[in-house]
Amino acid sequence: MSSTIEALAPFKNEVIKSFADPADKAAMEAALASVRGRLGATYPVFVDGKAVETVKHIDSVNPSDPSQVIGRVGAASKAQAEEAIAVANRAFESWKRVAPAERAAYLFKAADLIRARRFEWDALLVFEVGKSWVEADADIAELIDFLDFYAHEMLRLAKEQPIVPVAGEKNEFVYIPLGVGAVIPPWNFAGAIMGGMASAAIVTGNTVVLKPSSDSAVIAAWFVDLMHEVGLPPGVLNFIPGSGAEIGDAIVGHPHVRFISFTGSKEVGLHINALAAQTAPGQKWIKRVVAEMGGKDSIVVAADADIDAAVEGVAISAFGFQGQKCSACSRAIVDASIYDEFVEKLKARVAKMTVGDPTDQANYMGPVVNEKALKSISAYIEVGKSEGRLVAGGNRVGEKGYFLEPTVIVDVAPDARISQEEIFGPVLAVIKANGFDHAIEIFNNTEFGLTGSLYTTDEKKIEQARVDMFCGNLYFNRKSTGAYVGGHPFGGFNMSGTDSKAGGHDYLLLFMQGKTISRKIG
C-alpha cells in the first residue's frame, strides 16, 4: 500500500506466509543469519527522542538457549519513568493539534517499512520469544494490519459525524484525544499487540509511555526506533522498559496518566484497574483502563461434528505457539458418543508435532517463554495427572531451552483446576459432555469469556450456540485462534477484560472522547 493518503486503497489483511515458496524460505534463512549476527546489542531507554543512560539493564534472552542474549535493554528508574510522563504530557499539547491525516500517515509509513523488513522482524521473534516461522510471520503480519487498519479508522472518525439537525443552530460532534497513555503490552504477541496498542493511542492524538514486557523488550525497541525513523515527533512515543515492581505502579498511578492500555494476566489487570480507580493528588479525570486479561478457552465438539476437522482445529488451537495465546484452546469439550474416537485421533495428531529450536523450520513447537513459565506449566501438568488421565506428552524436552511436549489430559472433570485456571502453555484438558446442552453448560462454567469454537453440522446447534455460548469471539467449524484485524474484532467478557475489541471499528473510540460543539445561527 502506498503511504500517500491521496492514493489510499481500502484496507486489506496481509497474507501470512507458509514458507512453502522457496524464495520466502531463502529470505527467512538469510534474515535469521542477519539477525543472529546482531544479537546482543544494547537498547537504551528513549525519552523525548533521545537515548537515556540507565544504571540497570534487562537481558532479553533466547528461550531456546537462555545463554544467548538477544539484547541488553535499559531499565528505567522510577524517576526516569516520571520524566517520560512529564515529557509526554508536554508533547501532548502540540501532538493533539496535528491533523488526523498527518498522524495516520506516520502509521502508513511504518507499515510500509515493516513490510520491506518483514523477514528480519519475523526472525527477531523466532529468537526473542521462540515463535516458529509461521507464527512469527503471523505476528508481524498482524502488526502491519493494525498499523494500516487504525490509520484508516482515524481517517474515518475524523470525518464529519452524523448528528440530528437542530433549528437555529450549527452543531458538530467531534472526537478528541485523551492525553498521556501508559501502554503495557505482553510478550506473546510481541510485535502485533505491542505495536497495535501503541499505534492506536498515537494515531488518535495521544502521547505514550511504552513499558514492554522484559521478555520481549528488543522488538519493542525496534518499533520505537522505526517510529522515530518515519519522523514521529520527539515525546510522542517514549520507551521505558523496567520491572513492574519498580515502575509499574508509579506509571499507572501517576496523576498525568489519562489512560492505561494493558494486555496480560488477570491478576495484573485487576491490580491495574484497582490502582487506576484511585484518584491521585492533582488528577483531574477518571482514568480509563483498556484491558485484555486472558482466557480459559474451549472448543465444543458436538456428536454430529466432522471429527477429523475437529481434531485438527483443537490440536492447532491448543499447541500453536506452545499454547501461549489468550485465545488458545485449553479445553476440548466432546460429546460422549464420539469421545473415544476423538481422543484416539487427537493422540495420533499430537504425536506428529515436532518440538525443538524454532530456527529450524521443521519444528512446529518451540520453547515456552522463560524458566518461570516452564516451572508453572510443569506444576499444572502434575496437578492434571491427578485430575485426569495423561495420554500424550507431560515431559520436558532437552535441558538447554524451555521446551515442553504437547500435553493432553483426558477424562477431566469440568470443575477441575486444569479446567478452570489459565495455564498458558501446551496443556489441553479433554472433558466428556453428556449431550449438547451439557457441553454448553461446561463451556460457560469459567470466570473467563474470550474465545470459543463449536464443531457441528447441525444448524440448530449453531443458532443455539450463537446465543448461549458466552464469549467475545465465537467460531464455528474452525480453530479458536487466528483472529484477523478488521474481520474478527478481538476481545472478551468477564475476567477476560474490559470488552474492548482490538482491530474493530469501535476500538479507537477507547482512546478518545466526544465533544459536542453548538453555535446559534440566524
**Per annotation, catalytic residue among 14, 82, 120, 326:** 326
- 150-178 per-position pLDDT tens digit: 999 999 999 999 999 999 999 999 999 99
Q: Where exactly are the structural domains of the chain?
A: 5-9+43-293+500-518, 297-484
- What DSSP line would sit under 212-253, residue for residue? --GGGHHHHHHHHHHHHHTTPPTTSEEE----IIIIIHHHHT
This prediction's pTM = 0.97
Q: What is the pLDDT of residue 150?
A: 98
CB of 206 closer than 8 Å to CB of 92: yes
Task: Give residue-wise pLDDT tens across range 372-426.
Answer: 999 999 999 999 999 999 999 999 999 999 999 999 999 999 999 999 999 999 9
Give the number of other CB atoms < 10 A from CB of residue 414.
20
Which positions of the chain have pLDDT values less than 50? 1-4
Torsion sign (Cα): 95, 103, 175, 181: negative
CB neighbourhood size of 322 (10 A): 33
Pairing assessment for the beta strands 389-392 and 65-75 based on DSSP bridges: unpaired
**Confidence (pLDDT) at 4:** 47
HEC per residue, 489-519: CECCEECCECCCCECCCCHHHHHEEEEEEEE
Determine the pLDDT at residue 522.
81
Task: Name the fold adopted by 5-9+43-293+500-518.
Answer: Aldehyde Dehydrogenase; Chain A, domain 1 (3.40.605)
CATH superfamily of 297-484: Aldehyde Dehydrogenase; Chain A, domain 2 (3.40.309.10)
Q: How far is CA 218 from CA 27, 58, 109, 442, 495, in A?
A: 22, 10, 21, 40, 29
Look up residue 419 and give its amino acid. Answer: S
Cell 499505534 belongs to residue: 199
Residues forming beta bridges with residue 452, ordered by sequence position: 298, 474
Residues 6+ apart with CB under 8 A from 245: none
Dihedral over Cα of 429, 461, 493, 156: its sign: positive
Same fold, 5-9+43-293+500-518 and 297-484: no
The Cα–Cα gap between 379 and 373 comes to: 10
Is 326 designated active site? yes
pLDDT at 74: 98
The yes-or-no answer on residue 292 being catalytic is: yes
Element (DSSP H or E) covering residue 335: strand 329-335
Phi, psi of 409 (to 5 degrees): -120, 125
Catalytic residue, from 83, 153, 292, 387: name it.
292
Which pLDDT belongs to residue 60? 98
